[in-house]
Amino acid sequence: MKMKKLVLALTAFAAFAAPAVAADMAAKAPLRAAPVAYAPSWTGCYIGGGGGFGMWNQENTRYIDGPPRTLVSAETTAGGRGYFGTIGGGCDYQFSAAGAQFVVGAFADYDFASIKGQLGTLNAAIVGEEKMSSAWAVGGRIGWLAFPQLLTYFSGGYTEATFDRINFNFAGAPFGTANTYLDKATYKGWFLGAGDEYALSFLPGLFWKTEYRFSEFDLRNNPFRNATTNALNGDSLDSKKYTHTIRSELVYRFNWGGPVVAKY
């Protein structure tokens, strides 16, 4: 009889105690927070560096300077190609409009280059190596965020390119110096570009940017000079130049990161 009462008492205690124990266990179990997605902030400043491949083309016309100035040769073309390194920086601002995210910004960059080609002049049997050794640009860009990590954009602005001194040699026999040169020259112009920039997830703040850029420069008159005396030879070359470049850079932003609402 006593055993039966003890069994009934233990059963009743277990029945009442089970919910309390379960509630206590539930209260002590840690709650896992929902994962928070992070997207890069495009508002702020950055620096970058990289390199690329470039080509230049030009249209040349040779004159006797006169007076009067007299055309010696019809327009000829020449070109060069090679590689360059680049460094630069800028600042961007991200904003929303029409239900989408956009970025506007300003930037500047400098290219140190070795883009070479051969320059010859019609009706003169001389030829020289021409090299674009540097260029710089300042401008702006506007882009659309295809998704939070990817910016597609267009760019444009002002640019200058420097072409080194050209020393001419005879193109045929007798071989040797032609004792004439064109001096180092800087060409001024404008550029347009298009590219994309992607946030690299393995290192916050690091981005990868790739851009195609076309530049057109103003027509410049370049007088031929005597290599011995540096005196003017009395003739000159009018040259108009164009460049095409493909550049790829690693960019570091000082304003990386920023929580956004996760979508699940």
Token output for 195? 């590219």
Residues 6+ apart with CB under 8 A from 244: 54, 55, 56, 57, 212, 213, 214, 215
- Nearest residue to 151 (alpha-carbon basis) of 37, 39, 38: 39
pLDDT at residue 39, rounded to an integer: 75
pLDDT tens for 186-214 read: 999 999 999 999 999 888 899 999 999 99
Contact 105, 153 (CB under 8 A): no
Q: What pLDDT, on the 0 to 100 scale, is given for residue 4?
A: 47
- Helix, strand, coil % over all residues of the chain, rounded to 5: 10, 65, 25
pLDDT score recorded for residue 73:
83
| pLDDT value of position 172 | 67
Domain boundaries, the chain: 43-253
* Predicted pLDDT of residue 203: 85
- Alpha carbons 196 and 153: distance in angstroms, whole number: 6
Using alpha carbons only, how large is the chain's radius of gyration in Å?
34
Task: List, for the chain, all residue ranges whose pLDDT scores fall below the cut of 50.
Answer: 1-27, 29, 34-36, 259-264
The DSSP string of 130-184 is EEEEEEEEEEEEEEEEEETTEEEEEEEEEEEEEE--EEEEESSSSPSEEEEEE--
pLDDT at 30: 55
Among 2.40.160, 2.40.380, 2.130.10, 3.30.200, what is the CATH number of 43-253? Answer: 2.40.160
Whole-model pTM? 0.81
Neighbours of 155 (CB within 10 A): 20
CA distances 159 to 133, 179, 182, Å, are: 14, 32, 22
Buried b (16+ CB within 10 A) or exposed e, 187-213: bebebebbbebbbeeeeebbbebebeb
What DSSP designation does 230 have?
-
CA 216 vs CA 60, 150, 189, 213, 253: distances in Å: 14, 29, 6, 10, 30
Q: Which residue from 113, 254, 253, 259 is spatially nearest to 197, judged by alpha carbons?
A: 253
